[in-house]
Structure 1
Amino acid sequence: MKTSWRSASLVASAAAVLALTTACGQESGTSASVGSQNVGATAATAATGGYGSVGAGGSASASPGNGYGADGQAQAPSAGKLAVTQNAKLGKVLTDGAGKTLYRFDDDTAEPPKSSCDGDCAKAWPPVPADDATAGAGIDKALLGEVTRSDGSKQLTIGGWPAYRYAKDTKAGDVTGQGVGSKWYALAPDGKKATLASLPGLSVRTDPKLGKIVVDKNGMTVYRFLKDVAWPDPISNCTGSCLEKWPAVAPVKADDTKGVEKKGLMGFTRPDGVKQMTVDCWPAYTFSGDKAPGDTNGQGVGGTWYIMSPDGKPVGAPKK
């Protein structure tokens, strides 16, 4: 395939909130006091690089003989004629000729195209071969290109972004890879992340069962940990393997929020160096077990994790 990728804008990391005096007793960007459980921990978005090995009972490795090359022998099927599929939660999603969802990885780059997924990562997220890929209805063929991987093979790119399938998607239309490790997202036809609408850094949506809850820029549900501390300074007691399952929400600017209580809305730097957002001074997290916007699989986990309300309170938590 002749390379013909279009420059795609790289998504900038969310900026830390600076010099925001809050009721927490400190300014944004300062280190929180070290809690009794915050000793020598190093944060990670997923146990093995953010590619899907975390979550309840999850495993990054695909089963042998799954047709995606995870057994080291089978050749990943070609993309075929790409199509646009309408997903109820994600809007327009790019799929291959067999209807399988295609994904992109935040650790990759689009300008120039470069894949950062090799080894075990490529077993969980098989790269889509560039050979024979064609654009179907609603797809600009000029966005289709290829990148040479470290093993010399050619991988399909969409708008510069390397394209992958997810080994745990077992049938056409599955989007179980959405949001894995807070780094993997379904591809939209233009190479961007599939989403129904552009969301602020933090906003509020109404859940039919839980009422008003906080979501991040990707529409993923935001949670609170009952073992954390808010005052006088925010302290997260979720470290190490805990933070692998409950990734910290990165700081966002106060004016990049909608419907969220402004008091105590700030970012802070954890003892492990990770910068984290707070609502009413309470550290905010997402859950690796939530695979798509609207999922609330973390609600009530361990009796200590609850969805965050717009004022920072834990939705549905038992009253003391």
Structure 2
Amino acid sequence: MRKFTVVPAVLTVAAVMLTAACGASPDTAVTGAGSPERPAASDTGGQPSKAGRLSVWQSKELGPVVTDGAGFTLYRFDQDTANPPTSNCGEGCVATWPPVLVDDVTAGRGLDAALLGSVKRADGSLQVTLAGWPLYRYAQDTAPRQTRGQGVGGTWFAAAPDGTKAKAGAGGGTEETTPPSGPPVPKNLPALSTVKDEKLGTIVRDGKGRTLYRFTKDTAWPMKSNCQGDCLKLWKPAKLVDKKDLKGIDPKLVIPYKRPDGTQQLTLDCWPLYWYTGDKEPGDTSGHGVNGTWFTVRPDGKLAK
């Protein structure tokens, strides 16, 4: 027997009928069929990476930053601990933040070898620590010496040579960075609207200009979010919006979903929507394709390709 999702009485009859229809013709994106799947952007593909010869480079924005043997920036997580060394980035988190393993680690120029250590992860592997802090790569750093992970979620920061957090302005200069994708974000955006992206076409954004995403492991019938636990550290459920404050989107497709914790999440055509903590600026789409399961969304609720 089908179990219908209860929605607030303020919704129109048409919206309720739409909810009942959710899943009548399942979106093939549930299994990722026909989706542009790709691994996380860095060459680790979301898998643990080898440390190699760690070294230090001078960022104009952040000052001295630790890199691995391939030149990729290494990060630390505020929810970890250094004493005792503990990693709290588990399943769901490691797809975006691959742990750096000790296999071939050595201390290069600018690093004190005495500060290097290791911590045993839940799967038995040994992760490199710096002054007790576990080290990670960021999957959206696509080339050496990028620092796209700096400040993500307010908890991830590039590691300085002494194990502390690298801080903006420490380098005394202006970092050369890739400008945000997409057109400038206008003021007073509707709560939910569309924007034309050069690569992805017309996609959905929220009132702050943040790109919204779908998770292919979710389902539209019944409406269900499978982003729980560590997943929610990176992917934040989109909040409900006023249906009168939409532009370019059919109000009938906008329906609330009650999460297991009792909070309400925005859905589009019955698919739960999220914003990504890895997007630093309005209009960024760095979450598209992450782990082959996260994609931007079209106005009809389908995946952007």
TM-score range, shorter chain: 0.3 to 0.5
Structure (1 or 2) with the larger CA radius of gyration: 2
Q: Normalization by structure 2: what TM-score?
A: 0.45
